[in-house]
Structure 1
Amino acid sequence: MSALQVLAPEGVPAITSSTELAAVLVPVLANLVWPDGSIGIDAGDVVVLSSKVVSKAEGRLVRADDREDAIDSESVRVVASRENADGSRLRIVENRQGIVMAAAGVDSSNTHAGTILLLPVDPDDSARRLRRGLAARLGGVRPGVILTDSAGRPWRSGVTDLAIGAAGITVLDDLRGTPDDAGRPLETTVVAVADEIAAAADLLKRPTGGRPLAVVRGMAHVVTQEDGPGARGLNRTGPDDMFALGSREAYERGREGLPLHD
């Protein structure tokens, strides 16, 4: 029988730009109590952390009087833009991290007036540094690390967490060529393992209230000794992106005789 366990401990203190993340997380991780009575964290576990916490530790909480200007500065490409009934604007963009999401990941919730929170500059590098810091304080135990943010999805309502940074994780499980139950080789199946772990962890963790952290046990087969290439490869952009533009923007480019991809 296969089993997956997720713990989302409380007690993570408020994070500021002077916080050493690994130092404040290790006491919380070391005191985890699992259903079988074991305590702490193992090398096959996956530490899943809200990227908002990482952003605060990296000084990405910045002054900004105009959120739209901040979105402009964090964007490299506009996918779609819509005016809301209240006069505000919704923009789906590709941000500097290569992720297509609303507002480039710029967040003004749970921040003081006049400030906004930007995503980590390089989430994969942040995940690698956090993993090294945890291992140094956990006696060499090297859990996998995933940094998450919430995003919407084409044709689906609601948001879910996805992996924007990763270290020590096989982020994609390529099943192409393996046989299905009828013995036929799979042709296109590549499982987004890191995103699935991120979503499972988000069922319990929250970016506020001292619970931005979860630990997933039961996925040791995707935890690697090496840090690996990270989560950026999960982003689908360029010619393979079938959602490169919103429908209205695609129609407009078509009428003008322009290609969908620059």
Structure 2
Amino acid sequence: MTISILPVKGVGEITPGTDLARVLTDAMEGDDAIALSDGDILVVTQKIVSKAEGRYCDLRHIVPSPEAEELAAVTRKDPRLVEMILRESEAVVRSAPFVLITRHRLGMVMANAGIDQSNLGPGGEDRILLLPLDPDASAEGIRDTVYRRTGQSVAVVISDSFGRPWRNGVVNVAIGAAGLASIVDERGKADRNGRILGVTQVALADAVASAAGLIMGEAAEGIPAAIVRGVALHSAHASPARALLRPAAEDLFR
């Protein structure tokens, strides 16, 4: 098996209301043309999905609650930002100076409820960007439009960068997915020695997002999408990215 990762260049700045699938397919027809094929995986950063969906917020209009003021004192963060983190979250998991980990309303445990303040263009330091309302639905919408425009059935993964318990650094993971099995269940199968696997589940969508991150980068690279080619989709068992979420009752790191 040969796996390749192709950067989608020339996307440009995304603004609210942008038809993201159209922009991406147009970019693939640009100078570094990419001919899509059935079974390709289009990985798109959360940031441009949120931008297209207009998920901006202006902190100048936010009045912090007493809880936000209290947490801001602990975390040394802007109380208005903390207020928005709380509004986007269903529970605070950990707080410490410069750190605020919450369980997002979508079920993901993450820093600052996924709120972003980098590479947002004009608007000043008071501008923030929230996660998409429903990343799996966003992925499905992009997939449908790509099919209508190209005739190719591709999978779509929406990626975001996450920190991990017990390890430094961030990696890209899938927060939205369509057209592939986000998690592949190997339980009940035999390994090479005939031993039956009891717990192995492969986070396929996360692995694809992480691989694409090698091309897209985390800072000023300006490559917000990539094609991952040559990966078995297990599409007969397709599942959204929410299938990757561990139920709170099974979370031993809370």
Contact map agreement 1:31 1:40 (CA 8 A) in 2: no
1:17 matched residue in structure 2: 16
User: What percent of counterpart residues are identical?
Assistant: 42
Q: 1:51 aligns with which of 46, 54, 78?
A: 46
Contact map agreement 1:22 1:130 (CA 8 A) in 2: yes
Provide the TM-score with structure 2 as the length reference.
0.86
Q: Deviations over 1:86-132 (max 9, x none)?
A: xxx41111001111000000111123321100000100000001111
Trace 1:73-88 onto structure 2 (pairs within 5 A): 73-83=87-97
Q: Structure 1 residue 224: deviation in Å?
A: 2.6
1:141 matched residue in structure 2: 152
Trace 1:18-33 onto structure 2 (pairs within 5 A): 18-31=17-30
Q: 1:116 aligns with which of 125, 128, 149?
A: 128
1:68 matched residue in structure 2: 82
Provide the TM-score with structure 1 as the length reference.
0.83
Greater percentage in helix: 2
**Which moves more between the two structures, 192-201 or 63-72?**
63-72
Trace 1:189-204 onto structure 2 (pairs within 5 A): 189-204=200-215
Trace 1:201-220 onto structure 2 (pairs within 5 A): 201-206=212-217, 208-219=220-231
Q: Deviations over 1:111-170 (max 9, x none)?
A: 3321100000100000001111111111x2120000010011111110000000000011
Q: Structure 1 residue 31: deviation in Å?
A: 4.9
Unaligned runs of 5+ in 2: 61-79
Distance 2:172 2:31 in 1: 23
RMSD of aligned C-alpha atoms? 1.8
Contact map agreement 1:124 1:164 (CA 8 A) in 2: yes
2:37 matched residue in structure 1: 42
Supply the AA of the counterpart residue of 2:52.
A
Q: Deviations over 1:28-53 (max 9, x none)?
A: 2245869xxxx511111000000100
Distance 1:52 1:225 in 2: 29
Unaligned runs of 5+ in 1: 84-88, 245-262
